[in-house]
Amino acid sequence: MRQPDQTEAPDYAVELNACSKEFTTPHGGTYQAVQDIDLKVEPGRFVSIVGPTGSGKSTILHMAAGLLEPSAGTAASFGVPVRGVNRRASYMFQQDALLPWKTVIDNVSLGLTMAGVPKPEANDRARRWLEKVGLKNFTDRYPHQLSGGMRKRTSLAQAWIVDPDILLMDEPFSALDVQTRQIMENELLALWQESGKAVVFITHDLDEAIALSDEVIILGAGPGSTVVGRYDITIPRPRDLLEIRDDPQFVELHREIWGRLKIEVSRTYQSTVRQEGGAA
């Protein structure tokens, strides 16, 4: 089914080659969101993309998922060009994406039931996942009856239950408070470790990116943003997320990457101010 062919040469789980994306604006013009994006993620790697808001992070993830077609360049996954949605990937969306008319357990088991798994078995497996993310007492709730953190846990279970080879996560924790976020980050690392899954993780929080990843990619300011820096994070695993911010290696990396990111963030800020000034 979703088994990667391990005997083959190392195909990338996610592979974007010189991908660009142009949107048509409401006035009929075009807006170049991202330009010449190269992104290669090996199976089992945890890669984060960091960039200012509006730099095209979600756009890149959508292209990797097959939800958006690149205007130029190619997208591939495990050596196969991505056409339509990428069946080997799960996606955790930035916004709430649970179906509001389904209970927690029906949301989590959805991927299985749609793939033809019988309902009782799908429910069993969903229950096991809900236990793993600490929601076993909330199986029959509707999404609006959950806190933001619980909804994210449900989304996490929904994405993982189908056992994908790739996890695309778009700022999954940015709407959470600091404590909940740290707990979720820990849970995510525990799940991912030894799962062999490739993770592409989007965040605007550099701390989070460094703490979790094997590689951090910095995206420049838009329009036409592109990759402006790549950093290997060699902090050994398993990592203790509660202590990692005091790790000298972490501090050094943070200083180095932030030096680069700062420039892009302030460019985004200035162009926003300019636009607002011009519009007024």
Partner 1 sequence: MSTTTERTGRNAGVARQRPRRRAGVTGPGVRAGQVGLTVLVLIAWELLCRVGVIDDFFFPRPSEILKTVWEWVGSGFVFPHLLITLEEAALAFITGAAAGLLLGFLLARVHFLEQLFEPFLKMFNALPRVVLAPIFLLWFGLGIWSKVAFGFTLVFFIVFFNTLEGVKSVDRVLIDNARMLGASERQLLRHVFIPSALTWIFSSLHISVGFAITGAVVGEYLGASAGMGYAIAQAQGVFDTTGVFAGMFILMFVVLIIDLLVNRVERHLLRWRPTNNG
Ligand X SMILES: Nc1ncnc2c1ncn2[C@@H]1O[C@H](COP(=O)(O)OP(=O)(O)O)[C@@H](O)[C@H]1O
For residues 180 and 272, which CB has a smaller minimum distance to ligand X in the complex?
272
Q: Count CA atoms closer than 13 A to 36's CA, side-chain side.
A: 6
Q: Which of 6, 95, 137, 179 binds partner 1 (CB under 8 A)?
A: 95
- For the chain, the C-alpha Rg in angstroms (whole number) is 19
Q: Which of residues 243-262 bind ligand X (CB under 6 A)?
A: none
Q: Any contact of residue 146 with ligand X (CB under 6 A)? A: no
Question: How many helical (H) and strand (E) elements, i.e. helices and strands, does the chain have?
Answer: 7, 10
Q: Any contact of residue 97 with partner 1 (CB under 8 A)? A: yes
Q: Any contact of residue 58 with Mg ion (CB under 5 A)? A: yes
> Using CB distances below 5 to 8 A depending on partner kind, what does residue 53 bind out of Mg ion, partner 1, ligand X, none?
ligand X
The dihedrals phi and psi of 266, each to the nearest 5 degrees, come to: -70, -30
One-letter identity of residue 51: G
Least spacing, CB of residue 256 vs Mg ion, in Å? 25
CA dihedral 146, 133, 243, 43 (to 10 degrees): -120
Q: Any contact of residue 172 with ligand X (CB under 6 A)? A: no
Buried b (16+ CB within 10 A) or exposed e, 252-274: ebbeebbeebeebbebbeeeeee
Least spacing, CB of residue 266 vs Mg ion, in Å? 20
> Using CB distances below 5 to 8 A depending on partner kind, what does residue 67 bind out of Mg ion, ligand X, partner 1, none?
partner 1
Q: Which residues bind partner 1 (CB under 8 A)?
A: 65, 67, 85, 87, 89-91, 93, 95-103, 110-111, 114-115, 142, 144-145, 158, 162
